[in-house]
Amino acid sequence: MPLHIVRNDITQMKVDAIVNAANETLLGGGGVDGAIHRAAGPGLLAECRTLNGCRTGEAKVTGAYRLPCRYVIHTVGPIWRGGLFGERQKLISCYRTSLSAAEAHRCETVAFPLISSGVYGYPKDKALRVAVDTISDFLSDHEMTVYLVIFDKASFQIGERLFRSIESYIDDHYAAAHEDSREVQRSRILQAEQSYSFKPTEEDAAAPFPKEKPSKISDTPKAAPAAKPFPGSRTVAGGAALFPEPASALAPHFGAAASLEEALRRIDESFSEMLLRKIDERGMTDAQCYKKANIDRKLFSKIRNDRLYRPSKPTVLAFAIALELPLEETKDMLMKAGFALSHSSRFDIIVEYFISKGNYNIFEINEALFAFDQNLLGA
Ligand code: APR
């Protein structure tokens, strides 16, 4: 996942370079600057003295001394004065110049603090927005893994309005999934079993399979879950399902599958095949898709080269977001990987919230997931 948001102390990060939120003297200070100098030891200050300071928005590189990384990239963020003095542009420049310096030093992994969001008073949600937008913009055409390191939860804030809106969406949906008492839940499960478990009559059991080979449901590769019989379908011994219904009855399950054959073919389609089909249908390149999904190239090529690859749920959802799939197709893609969206999971509800709002910005979704202490989308 090219952009991670993590809770940590940046001086502990084992990466190629960490970025320091310094001041223009480069002679140390409090906050993250003080922490980095303390952890690096006196050698860092000695080298900083030779640099002759650093202007706001610019970046300079030193060694890392006792830190578990190779370089320290010192940048100086803007002091917040209300937002009318070019603070945003200067903050963007901090991330851009630091990323360029990291690239020039052949760094593959870089860790940033939330620059200017402490002593310099930049509003935390605005500082986060600038950080995520600038870093993700850089990653759209560079291969690098970047960590945005959040030291304390208080220094992490998404927009208040967005936070409240997600919170009430969770309350509405999470509660609904939990309002059933145990009895009601048990009777629901019983009902579902009765309506689906079809006892084939003698005649059904003897009925010849459709002309083509028995439906591949029974020999679906182990990687995918046995498909649930669809309402109106009949399962006979051996798991093969007969679909007496016209393909149209299957449409809700397979989108507008024009024919029964196409519907059956989609049953067999693996997650990986559906992903590649959707990339082609959207006219995207592979790289555009996995970058938009915040997935690294290596993982994508594993999925691409193994038709039965079993991805994690966050990975499936990351691709559904990148492809901007509507909710039903997202559920279909999840099902092919053996998952379902659940209203008992805050993670699922938050992702569903963004899809329902038509917001497919994976970085914004990850910020929200992070704010609600959930795993992030992507590998
Ligand atoms: N690891 C990661 N992040 C940290 C750490 C740490 N060890 N310590 C603090 N932070 C976070 C803060 O919570 C804040 O979100 O870094 C972010 C930036 O805060 P500051 O360190 O105060 O930096 P900034 O707001 O850019 O102000 C820079 O402060 O320390 C002085 O010398 C520095 O004058 C400069 C000014």
Does 65 score more than 50 pLDDT? yes
Tokens in use for 85? 């003095």
Lowest mean pLDDT among 151-155, 158-162, 227-231: 227-231
- The span from the CA of 306 to the CA of 326, in Å, is 25
- The span from the CA of 275 to the CA of 287, in Å, is 13
- The span from the CA of 110 to the CA of 146, in Å, is 5
- Which ligand 1 atom sits closest to the C-alpha of 117? 25
CB 337, CB 310: distance < 8 Å: yes
- The span from the CA of 355 to the CA of 349, in Å, is 10
Tell me phi and psi for residue 152, to 5 degrees: -140, 150
- The span from the CA of 62 to the CA of 17, in Å, is 10
Does 280 score more than 70 pLDDT? yes
Average pLDDT, integer, range 65-85: 97
**What pLDDT sits at residue 71?**
98
Measured by CA distance, the residue closest to atom 30 of ligand 1 is: 30
pTM for the structure as a whole: 0.76
Which of the pair, 281 or 213, is modelled with greater confidence?
281
Per-residue pLDDT tens over the stretch 284-333: 999 999 999 999 899 999 999 999 899 999 999 999 999 999 999 999 99
Pocket residues for ligand 1 (CB within 6 Å)? 9-11, 21-23, 29-35, 77, 113-120, 149, 151-152, 155
CA dist list (Å): 41 to 48, 116, 185: 12, 23, 60
Tokens in use for 159? 């927009």
Domain boundaries along the sequence of the chain: 3-157, 271-371
Parallel, antiparallel or unpaired: strands 109-112 and 145-150:
parallel
Does 253 score more than 90 pLDDT? no
CA–centroid distance, 106 to ligand 1, in Å, is 25
- Which ligand 1 atom sits closest to the C-alpha of 10? 1
What whole-number percentage of the chain has pLDDT above 90? 64
Dihedral, 168, 173, 177, 178 alpha carbons, nearest 10: 10
**What pLDDT sits at residue 181?**
58
Q: In 220-301, at which residue ranges do the beta strands (DSSP E only) sit? A: 234-235, 241-242
Task: Tell me if residue 33 is catalytic.
Answer: yes
Average pLDDT, integer, range 3-26: 96
Tokens in use for 375? 């795993």
CA–centroid distance, 112 to ligand 1, in Å, is 10
Q: Residue 218: CB partners within 8 Å, gap ≥ 6? A: 238, 239, 240
- Which ligand 1 atom sits closest to the C-alpha of 9? 1
The sheet carrying 109-112 orders its strands as: 3-7, 145-150, 109-112, 17-22, 71-76, 59-63
CATH class of 3-157: alpha beta
**What pLDDT sits at residue 200?**
42
Measured by CA distance, the residue closest to atom 35 of ligand 1 is: 23
